[in-house]
Amino acid sequence: MTTTLRFGRAARTLTAAGVAMVPWIFVLARVAGPHPVVKTGLAVMEAVGLVGTGLLLARGDRRRVAVAPATAVLLVADAWFGVLTAAPGAEHTAVLMAACLELPLAALCTAVAWSALHALSPRSGGSLRALACHSRRSA
């Protein structure tokens, strides 16, 4: 089965952001402080979620309705804990990362999930049952 990918702006942004996190993950693994596994693991989950959401969006796959909000929650949690656990003197950097990267990406993931959920609403002719059937056929 051949799938056509249509990389619109949102799909490109999400996929590129996830791929761009890969070098950061390696840096984070070396300098993460007292809990490197926690911070690195969260970054890996965010990167996988961003790339997954971007690719599902590019494919027009309705399963993004599950992946996108999970990724948004991870990004918001990372912003929250990043600001609260910032080292003295690094608070401004943490707030800047949250405001310019993590929270806007979380908002984009939320918008992707909302649009996918809206497409499944009975008014638009979609259904959750159709999502379940589509997911089984694609797997």
Residues 106-110: contacts with CB under 8 Å, at least 24 apart = 106/71, 106/72, 106/73, 106/75, 106/76, 106/79, 107/72, 108/10, 108/13, 108/14, 109/14, 109/49, 109/50, 109/53, 109/68, 109/69, 109/71, 109/72, 109/75, 110/68, 110/69, 110/72
- 27: its two tokens: 């840096």
Is pTM beyond 0.85 here?
Answer: no
Q: In percent, how much of the chain has pLDDT > 90?
A: 64
Distance CA 119, CA 8 (A): 17
Q: pLDDT at residue 71 above 80?
A: yes
Q: Where are the domains of the chain?
A: 9-138
Distance CA 11, CA 115 (A): 13
Angle ∠(115,117,120) on CA atoms, nearest 5: 115
For 1-36, write each residue's pLDDT tens digit. 556 778 899 999 999 999 999 999 999 899 877 778
Can you give the pLDDT at residue 57?
A: 94
Q: In percent, how much of the chain has pLDDT > 70?
A: 86
Distance CA 130, CA 127 (A): 5
The lowest-confidence range among 46-50, 85-89, 113-117, 121-125 is 121-125
Q: What is the mean pLDDT of the chain?
A: 87
The predicted model gives 96-119 an average pLDDT of 94
Distance CA 135, CA 10 (A): 22
